[in-house]
Chain A
Amino acid sequence: MSEVGVVQTIMDFFNAAVLAATPLLLATLGEILTEKSGNLNLGVEGMMYMGAMAGISASWLYEAAMGAAANGLVSVLLAVAGGILAGALGGLIYSVLTVTLRANQNVTGLTLTIFGAGIGNFFGELLGMRAGGYASITDVTKSMFNNIEMPLLSKIPVLGKMLFSHDFVVYMAVIVAVLMTWFLNKTRVGLNLRAVGESPATADAAGINVARYKYLATCVGGGLCGLGGMYISMVRFSGTWVHGCVDGRGWIAVALVIFAAWSPARAMIGALLFGGLSVLRYYMPIKDVATQFYDMVPYIATVVVLVITSIRQGKERAQPKACGINYFREER
């Protein structure tokens, strides 16, 4: 391979990794926010399905209603809103059950995954039936997901194409990650949220409304998961509903939260790494090692991180202390 060819391959690989990483990053950020409030929501996969279905449905129904007059921008905004709202609805169901009704977090999360995957595939298939075969959005909407070239910056050789020429959701995900780092570390509300996740009794005594923080963090987190799902159906599968499209990405996101040690900034690196691993086989001839072992790496790496943090007993990079445990004021 010529030198130019190698550079081109690396650039292509990097861009494919970003495409694979974006839904992972969004869902991971959502789950980090949720877990910071002390809710271990294992329903990420379900919320992503709900977002994937709602996103594509919103766009498709709008296009069907407007016909040729459909506006791409409106259609995409509807998809984004649909994805976020559907994911947030999943987070709301989870919050009502675990925060207000005090149901077991693990079981509720798994149920949300079963329910969300069911809802996604159910309505996705109905949409397909209604579209007469399979549901697909038109180029008017799809073009809105074209790469946005950053002025000047995208002209930098090699790096410009890699870093400053992506669709708007990629930039959005990065901005959310940066904002969340700032929010969790520098703002009062963010610190309060972390207090709720570490020690709800202390937070409660300090006058923080524990239930409100848990509800908000879980619903906003669910919204981010839903947005990640929307990206899968609208971009990864180019606006066509594919049965079972989320395909375990929600669980990779749950793994990524641990791998990134509950840090939004590290989640960006982790998502790019895990996303890159999932597409590596298309850019590098893998002969000796079976592709399944590449797919296994994220989970093994996560187990290793999990074990190391538990051995080190560090407080800095560990799961929020009250994560997974419901808070009952009168049982304090």
Chain B
Amino acid sequence: MSATKVAARAHEPFVRIIKKDTISRGRAYMIRALALLASLVAGALLLLALGHNPLPVYRDMVIGAFGSAFVTKETVRIAIPLLIAGLGVALAFKMRFWNIGAEGQILMGAVCATYFALYQYQTLPQALLLIVMALAAMAGGAIWGLIPALFKARWNTNETLFTLMFNYIALECVRFLQYGPWIDPKQRGFPKIAMFEPAARLPKVFDVHIGWIVAVVLVALVYLYLTKSKQGYEITVVGESIPTARYAGMSVSRVFLRTMVISGALCGLTGYLVVAGANYTLSESTAGGVGFTAITVAWLSNLNPIVMVIVAVFIAMLQRGSNTIQTTFKIPLAAADVLTGLILFFMLGCEFFLNYALVIRDGKEKPNE
């Protein structure tokens, strides 16, 4: 071995990272399963440190989420908004447009739907009212998503920060309505918006509001849109490489605008389902972090609508199950957020091992050197 080669070898790092070409499906699932297991172990260690036996805690969490028909319905009810907003976010993320504004789009959708629920419930028959509310909500969310997209398309304004700020502008709008023009004069104490009239409430199917059917239909539609339609293909190309999309003759700004309208509309629809199906009123906690959690749901599912169903139900299980362990074990409710965070950290981290391989420096010379 020549002296220069020895010197070169000394500079070679001990561990090198190389990109994997492909990974078999089974191996990918195994890595993800291991990461999930590791996160549950981390959670268990935390519980152990606090003096709880983790196994009964985990068991009660699952029972608290699926143990009876009643709690199962609650879990589904939590999963619906996560799933639909997740679908909306996934469309934007697929074209590498970082729509962090789902929270605001949900609120704006809810505001538009609430206007009709509060002030037009007498002028329209119920079916029509509910449809108008849904359309208004989608329009509200779409506009809230379109504004940052317009600036992104025209001036390349940073959409992450723009959509983020729009969340809080929407939240203050809701607060303004709640404390001001839409306050319910009949209620005393804390300012609230009135409960919706029965005509403005969504019907139930199998005792859960109809939103779950909407969610299932939307999963199929978004899946088909992304994989089978020309527009879906354009989203993928823009996400992969904007120069390629331009070279292929696509109008990148049109794809941005169109997709953000759909993304915002889906989030707006989420807001409608929350106010008309679950809460029957609008309040500053209507979105309550769903928009942020939906982003993690979308990412965890690898932006795959079908997988998103499982992830949304899983996160909903953690949230519902935490209610139970709060009462039985006196574990603070925030345990749901801690566990969700832990699982996400491990899942985010394990992606690395799907895409890259570690090569440890060996003592041997490579034959072609």
B161 touches A115 (CB 8 A): no
Interface of A is mostly: helix
A293 touches B345 (CB 8 A): no
Asked if B40 is at the interface of the complex by the 8 Å CB criterion, the answer is no
B172 touches A114 (CB 8 A): no
A176 CB, nearest partner CB in chain B, Å: 23
Among A107, A129, A303, point to the contact of B330 (Cβ < 8 A). Answer: A129
Q: How far is the CA of A122 from the CA of B334 in the complex (A)?
A: 5
Q: Which residue of B lies closest to A297 (CB)?
A: B172
Q: B residues within 8 A CB of A290?
A: 176, 179-180
* Chain A proximity mask over B304-322: 1 for CB below 8 Å, otherwise 0: 0000000000000000000
A101 touches B351 (CB 8 A): yes
B161 touches A108 (CB 8 A): no
Number of chain B interface residues as a range: 35 or more
* Chain B proximity mask over A113-144: 1 for CB below 8 Å, otherwise 0: 11111111110011001000000000000000
Which positions 144-159 of chain B face chain A at CB distance < 8 Å? 151, 155-158
Asked if A278 is at the interface of the complex by the 8 Å CB criterion, the answer is no
A10 CB, nearest partner CB in chain B, Å: 26
Asked if B162 is at the interface of the complex by the 8 Å CB criterion, the answer is yes
Q: How far is the CA of A207 from the CA of B338 in the complex (A)?
A: 39
Among A122, A254, A295, A324, point to the contact of B332 (Cβ < 8 A). Answer: A122
A121 touches B349 (CB 8 A): no
Asked if A1 is at the interface of the complex by the 8 Å CB criterion, the answer is no
Q: Which residue of B lies closest to A251 (CB)?
A: B168
B168 touches A107 (CB 8 A): no
Which positions 287-325 of chain A face chain B at CB distance < 8 Å? 290-293, 295-296, 299-300, 302-303, 306-307, 310-311, 319, 324
Q: Which residue of A lies closest to B152 (CB)?
A: A310
Q: A residues within 8 A CB of B344?
A: 107, 111, 114-115
With known contacts A103-B348, A311-B155, A319-B158, A111–B341 Cβ distance under 8 A: yes
A119 touches B158 (CB 8 A): no
Asked if A96 is at the interface of the complex by the 8 Å CB criterion, the answer is yes
Q: A residues within 8 A CB of B19?
A: 330-331
Q: A residues within 8 A CB of B336?
A: 118
Q: B residues within 8 A CB of A302?
A: 161, 165
Among A106, A115, A251, point to the contact of B345 (Cβ < 8 A). Answer: A115
Asked if A245 is at the interface of the complex by the 8 Å CB criterion, the answer is no
Q: A residues within 8 A CB of B158?
A: 306, 310, 319
B292 touches A121 (CB 8 A): no
B296 touches A126 (CB 8 A): no
A248 touches B168 (CB 8 A): yes
B28 CB, nearest partner CB in chain A, Å: 16
* Chain A proximity mask over B347-367: 1 for CB below 8 Å, otherwise 0: 011011001100000000000
Asked if A26 is at the interface of the complex by the 8 Å CB criterion, the answer is no
Asked if A104 is at the interface of the complex by the 8 Å CB criterion, the answer is yes
A118 touches B340 (CB 8 A): yes
Q: How far is the CA of A111 from the CA of B356 in the complex (A)?
A: 22
B98 touches A108 (CB 8 A): no
Asked if A110 is at the interface of the complex by the 8 Å CB criterion, the answer is yes
Q: Which residue of A lies closest to B356 (CB)?
A: A102
Asked if A208 is at the interface of the complex by the 8 Å CB criterion, the answer is no
Interface size on A, residues (CB 8 A): 52
Q: How far is the CA of A135 from the CA of B100 in the complex (A)?
A: 35
A251 touches B348 (CB 8 A): no
A107 touches B299 (CB 8 A): yes
A117 touches B334 (CB 8 A): yes
Among B293, B295, B337, B352, point to the contact of A103 (Cβ < 8 A). Answer: B352
Asked if B241 is at the interface of the complex by the 8 Å CB criterion, the answer is no
B181 CB, nearest partner CB in chain A, Å: 9
A307 touches B157 (CB 8 A): yes
Q: How far is the CA of A121 from the CA of B333 in the complex (A)?
A: 9
With known contacts A110-B296, A129-B330, A330-B19, A306–B335 Cβ distance under 8 A: no
With known contacts A107-B348, A306-B165, A121–B156 Cβ distance under 8 A: no
Q: B residues within 8 A CB of A311?
A: 155
Known: A293-B172, A299-B166, A303-B169. 12 other contacts (CB 8 A): A103-B349, A106-B160, A111-B296, A113-B292, A118-B337, A121-B334, A122-B335, A129-B330, A255-B168, A292-B179, A310-B156, A319-B158
10 tightest Cβ-Cβ pairs between the two chains A and B: A115-B341, A118-B337, A121-B334, A292-B176, A125-B332, A122-B334, A310-B157, A118-B338, A101-B352, A103-B348
- What are 20 of the A-B contact pairs (CB < 8 Å)? A42-B160, A101-B349, A102-B356, A103-B349, A106-B295, A107-B295, A107-B348, A111-B341, A111-B348, A114-B289, A114-B293, A118-B336, A118-B337, A293-B176, A296-B169, A299-B165, A302-B161, A306-B157, A306-B158, A310-B158
Taking Cβ atoms with an 8 Å cutoff, the residues of A that contact B are: 40, 42, 93, 96-97, 100-104, 106-108, 110-122, 125-126, 129, 248, 251, 254-255, 258, 290-293, 295-296, 299-300, 302-303, 306-307, 310-311, 319, 324, 330-331
